[in-house]
Structure 1
Amino acid sequence: MIRGILTVGGWTLGSRVLGFLRDMLIAAVMGAGPLADAFFVALKLPNLFRRLFGEGAFNAAFVPSFAATLTVAGMAQARALAERMATLMTLWLALLTGLGIVFMPQLLRVLAPGFVDEPLRFQLAVELTRITFPYLVFICLTALISGVLNGLDRFAAAAGAPVLFNLLSMGSLFALTPFVATPGHALAWGVTISGVAQLILVWVAAARAGMPLAIISRPRLSPEVRDVLRKMGPGLIGAGVTQLNLAVDVIIASLLPAGAVSYLYYADRIGQLPLGVIGAAVSTAMLPLLAKQLRGGKPLSAHRSMNRALELSLALALPAAAAQAALAWPIITALFQRGAFGAEAAAATSHALTAYAVGLPAFILVKAYLPGFFARGDTATPVKIGLAAVALNLALNLALTPWLQHVGIALATSLSAWANTAALALILRRRGHWHADKRVRRNVPRLLVATLAMAAVLLVLRMAMPDPGGSTARIVVLAIYVAAGLVTYFGTAHLTGALPLGELRRLRRR
């Protein structure tokens, strides 16, 4: 499991670094105005459906079934299941994409109602989303084949595919801008092109792993396919709670003054670094492992795997959240404040980042708890919890936004994530599927001590080091903050026994 987590996390880290470069370019070229708002809505809409129909619900239902079929019936039957699901997904998503392109104005009136009163921003959003929407088909098929690779214990290609998204997005911004109406149009075309490239990459990887898949074959609703579809239905909400909350955020942010959507996007991108590297990696590696352990009659092994995943998640999530909260302003100014992205936009974005940091550990813990349900074939319970979390997020948005504007949206998302996490943990514990073992109970308080020590050092450094001004100087100062935080956290964690250096060396070698 550790090897899988580190493989996925390493590739995701590389993708996130490239993503920062891409977002720095976007901020410098488009800033946080109407064009940026329109592009971020155009990017978020297919990504929302991708995470619901692809990474979220599909992985929750398909990966355990594929892993079980592979273990019990062999490669041929597992391949047949994957090809039948690919055919159904292609037909369904092609229909959804066609309808979305035709009825895009009506769809955006629901998902971005605040744009309607600004014809320029609304028309830009419609045009850009029509360009990006076919990305949905390609990236969901990429998620399907990635699930096959994960079931085969092959993680690298699936985790590395998003690197192409960032590279092609940046390339399109430079190469296509002279030939299209706006830089936003160039970025939109880059999104769709990257979907094709990612699909080709994972298909080739699956073929090399001994499982070349026919994307289109004769549709057949076999019992295994019906079982996946049955579990996938409720999983659309259960595995996509965070995405549904973010959709609610966009709806409400569109009602705020221009720039609010962009502030939340840039802040969320910073939060997505640890969430993607830690949360997605843990979830991706844990789901097939737990499914195999439970299918093989090894519940104690599954219990130990979940505790180690939770411990690792907290060991990385707690300092990441504290660092984002303490360094929100230096992070945003160093990464984004240049060109069209000025000091006012940096201040607004840093406030949103602080609010998102409050919920970062919860976002990651949700990713660690959900496989405990999905590996047992239970997608209904996360649905019920997810509906409650979405309702809470909406209520908190309505209560906080009038007072805190876009910061209230970010804070509502964080608080609802903590409620979601607490409910998942409580139900798993009541069912006897998980309880914190002795090692977790011993180490978590020590990790909190190390996190508080790191936060104190960072705050003292911030008071001692004023804003130097200039992009290069800010990046240097941010690097000093990061180095000081890492030394303080891991040094304190070693001294308290939460993360002994010898264990870290063993993890690195593995």
Structure 2
Amino acid sequence: MSKLRIASILFLLSTFFLKFSSMFRDIIIAKLFGNSYVTDAYIAAMTIPNALILFMLTGMKDAFLPSYYKYSQLGKGFSHLTNIVKGTFWISFVISVAGALLSPLFIPKLYPDFNNHGTQIAIWTAVIYFLSVAIVGVNAVYEGYFDAQKMFSFSTFSQTIVVLCTIGGALFLHRPMGIYSVPFGYFVGTVFSFLIKLFYLGPRRFIDWKQPMDREEVISFYRIFLPIGLTIAVGQVNLFVNTLFAARLGEGAVSTLNYAFRLVSIPQAIFGVTIATIVFPLLAEAKAKNDMALFKAGIEKGLTYMFLFLAPTVAGMLVLMKECVQIVYERGAFTASATAQTSEYAFLYIGSVLFYSIQAVIAKGFYTLEKGHYMLRAGIVSIIANIIFNAIFSSMIGAAGLALSASFVGLVYSLITFTTLYKITGGFRLSVIGKEYGKITISTLAMVAVLLLVKYELHADRLAIIPYLAFMIVLGAAVYFVALWVFKVESVKEILTKKRRKEVS
């Protein structure tokens, strides 16, 4: 078995663990604090520094990987790592201090509808998250470095540590600290994640401590990084815009929308982002070899494999949405009425999962070609579209309109980015992609038809919820894969052929 295949399997498993631990974090928050104004204040405040955190984490990884490859070919990989770590630390430190000091000023202005207690929660939540940014920046560089070494699982593991510490903070400190236990746990997690990287690499392999920072090299890197990072932050900017709208729609709107979005985004994170991340090094190698045919084939495979796994998962969630919300969240402070409302919002969010997963693969193509500015332009258009759609749909159907808006914005964003990359690269084999998508869609519809028949005609939903969900998931998977075999889906054949070749060898 090749090292890349082993790394890919480990990464998929570690991503599953990361996303389910993230879901468990949300379950704990829902159980302890429900969809109250306390949770609203926490989520609204953390959205702002979290945009910077994701700006560093995801953006840095996407920019650093091709940059590291380029310098490694010149024998300067470690030197480049040292320069970017030192430069990023100082930039992140300034942002961290500035954000913490300014939080008491801008939080009350952004969320004037919060009561005094909610405002105080929001301020201190923002302060704690901003203080984490300095460490997050350095962590982000090393996670990009581990990805460049095809150590995907280690990078994901370090993020999982942060989530587990956040969970631990909520579980063990919620009585004395209340909702503050959540951001405090996150801060501890970022420090712990950094120490693990330092211990794993050792001081000598961590950075060249004596090497002076090459400012020109850092500036050159950030010219590439900034468009990528800003593009990554577009999603968070859109979430922030949604939060501003939601905060004016009454208690519970912010937190309930957040719970719905977190739940439906799990398939996107597991399949869309995982496949995009695995494809990225292959695209970078194709670019280094100046092999455009291989590059385009990588994009085509990424889009096909992503849809192969994502389509049935999303469709299954649509059929079982209420039950999914119920089993995940409904306990403690999270009531049955919150379940009903969350299910409605989650149903409307589902389009964004598909479209942003497509966009995740396409984005890797832009970043590999060092044309992230195209993504930034599309991102700016999506922000404008988000404001317009939010204003229209929220005025028509309230908070549910914000979820619906996210799906429309995802559609606009993915269309713009795909057509742009299509023009830049000279086109993809649309007939091949379309044929595969058609077969996968028919297979997915066959699965949905069987599930609906069993649910409503055979009344399988009268079973206890856990056996019911287990039965429906197994049945749906069986029907889907039988349909894939009947319709001779090529991507499935390729996966099975590779497996047989591996067994023979």
Q: CA deviation at 1:163?
A: 2.1
What is aligned with 2:162? 165
What is aligned with 1:219? 213
Per the alignment, do residues 216 and 120 of structure 1 end up closer, same or farther by CA in structure 2, a change over 3 Å counting?
Answer: farther
Asked if 1 retains the 8 angstrom alpha-carbon contact of 2:439 and 2:487, the reply is yes
Per the alignment, do residues 369 and 185 of structure 1 end up closer, same or farther by CA in structure 2, a change over 3 Å counting?
Answer: same
Per the alignment, do residues 179 and 421 of structure 1 end up closer, same or farther by CA in structure 2, a change over 3 Å counting?
Answer: same
> Are residue 55 (structure 1) and residue 50 (structure 2) matched?
no
What is aligned with 2:84? 85
Aligned counterpart in structure 2 of residue 12 of structure 1, from 4, 15, 19: 15
What is aligned with 2:259? 266
What is aligned with 1:245? 238
Q: CA deviation at 1:481?
A: 2.1
> Are residue 256 (structure 1) and residue 258 (structure 2) matched?
no
Q: CA deviation at 1:466?
A: 7.0
> Are residue 390 (structure 1) and residue 392 (structure 2) matched?
no
Asked if 2 retains the 8 angstrom alpha-carbon contact of 1:493 and 1:499, the reply is no
Q: Secondary structure of the equivalent of 1:153?
A: coil
> Are residue 65 (structure 1) and residue 67 (structure 2) matched?
yes
Aligned counterpart in structure 2 of residue 133 of structure 1, from 130, 135, 151: 130
The one-letter code of the counterpart of 1:66 is Y
Q: CA deviation at 1:8?
A: 2.6
Q: Secondary structure of the equivalent of 1:103?
A: helix
Per the alignment, do residues 197 and 272 of structure 1 end up closer, same or farther by CA in structure 2, a change over 3 Å counting?
Answer: farther
Per the alignment, do residues 203 and 422 of structure 1 end up closer, same or farther by CA in structure 2, a change over 3 Å counting?
Answer: farther
2:491, 2:223 → 1: CA distance? 45
> Are residue 29 (structure 1) and residue 24 (structure 2) matched?
no
Aligned counterpart in structure 1 of residue 477 of structure 2, from 483, 486, 491: 486
Q: CA deviation at 1:334?
A: 1.2
1:298, 1:352 → 2: CA distance? 44
2:422, 2:91 → 1: CA distance? 37
Residue ranges of structure 1 left out of the alignment (5+ in a row): none
2:418, 2:323 → 1: CA distance? 35
Q: CA deviation at 1:508?
A: 6.6
What is aligned with 1:298? 291
What is aligned with 2:307? 314
Q: CA deviation at 1:38?
A: 2.1
Number of residue pairs the alignment of both structures matches: 497
Asked if 2 retains the 8 angstrom alpha-carbon contact of 1:52 and 1:239, the reply is yes
Asked if 1 retains the 8 angstrom alpha-carbon contact of 2:53 and 2:133, the reply is yes
What is aligned with 1:148? 145
2:209, 2:455 → 1: CA distance? 54
Asked if 2 retains the 8 angstrom alpha-carbon contact of 1:172 and 1:187, the reply is yes
Q: CA deviation at 1:287?
A: 2.7
Aligned counterpart in structure 2 of residue 410 of structure 1, from 397, 403, 412: 403
TM-score by length of 1: 0.91
2:209, 2:308 → 1: CA distance? 40
Per the alignment, do residues 409 and 507 of structure 1 end up closer, same or farther by CA in structure 2, a change over 3 Å counting?
Answer: farther
Asked if 1 retains the 8 angstrom alpha-carbon contact of 2:86 and 2:213, the reply is yes
Q: Secondary structure of the equivalent of 2:469?
A: helix
Aligned counterpart in structure 2 of residue 40 of structure 1, from 33, 40, 43: 43
Q: CA deviation at 1:54?
A: 2.9
Q: CA deviation at 1:191?
A: 0.8
Q: CA deviation at 1:403?
A: 1.8
Structure with the bigger RCO (C-alpha within 8 Å, sep 6+) is 1
The one-letter code of the counterpart of 1:389 is S
Asked if 1 retains the 8 angstrom alpha-carbon contact of 2:349 and 2:403, the reply is yes
1:257, 1:483 → 2: CA distance? 40
Identity score, percent: 21
Per the alignment, do residues 372 and 501 of structure 1 end up closer, same or farther by CA in structure 2, a change over 3 Å counting?
Answer: closer
Q: CA deviation at 1:95?
A: 1.4
TM-score by length of 2: 0.92
What is aligned with 1:364? 357
User: Aligned Cα RMSD in Å?
Assistant: 2.4
Per the alignment, do residues 191 and 427 of structure 1 end up closer, same or farther by CA in structure 2, a change over 3 Å counting?
Answer: same
2:313, 2:459 → 1: CA distance? 21
> Are residue 199 (structure 1) and residue 198 (structure 2) matched?
no
Residue ranges of structure 2 left out of the alignment (5+ in a row): none
1:485, 1:251 → 2: CA distance? 38
The one-letter code of the counterpart of 2:52 is F
